[in-house]
Amino acid sequence: LARFGVGHDGINKALASRKGILCTNTPEVLNQSVAEYTISLILLCARRVSRMDSDLHNGAWAPFQGKELKDSRLAVIGCGGIGRLVARTASLGFGMSVAGQYRREETRRELEGLGFFALLTTSFEEAVKDADFVTLHIPANTTTRHVINRSRLEALPSRHT
């Protein structure tokens, strides 16, 4: 059973093993695509494209100013391969300040060498404290289940734009 993408989240590996079915995946093959898609979603949010589209479809022309990404703060939750690509694109491509939340000390040492994170922390609350945008790049498994919960949503800064 081969999965095109990262992880085996939707596969019952115990059952597959009992049946003698080998499970494989293609790690990192979609990292660039997911990072680009993430950046496109950030751009859509910054320029409020969905709202403008809805207004236009409802016959309203009510232009408003979006937010420039330059000098905005991005919090990257999960600094694996995809999170790093998003951070690099945001920092070097758009001039954003990037905060990264990581889980392991080895990750911190790797990330420090990259030089484009304004803040590196293991604290979700510290990473998102001044964020204009937050992006989540963590595996879906039992240790990350419910990682985004009421208290973490309440930790996000309020933006009234």
- Which is higher by pLDDT, 112 or 120? 120
Q: What digits encode the pLDDT tens for the residues 71-103?
A: 999 999 999 999 999 999 999 999 999 999 998
What is the pLDDT, as a whole number, of residue 158?
Answer: 83
Chain segment 1-30, per-residue pLDDT in tens? 888 777 777 788 899 999 999 988 888 889
Rounded to whole angstroms, how far apart are CA atoms 25 and 30? 11
Confidence of residue 68 (pLDDT cuts 50, 70, 90): very high
pTM as predicted: 0.85
Model confidence over 106-119: pLDDT tens digits? 778 888 878 778 89
Does position 160 have pLDDT exceeding 60, yes or no? Answer: no
**Quick check: 120 and 94 in contact, CB under 8 A?**
no
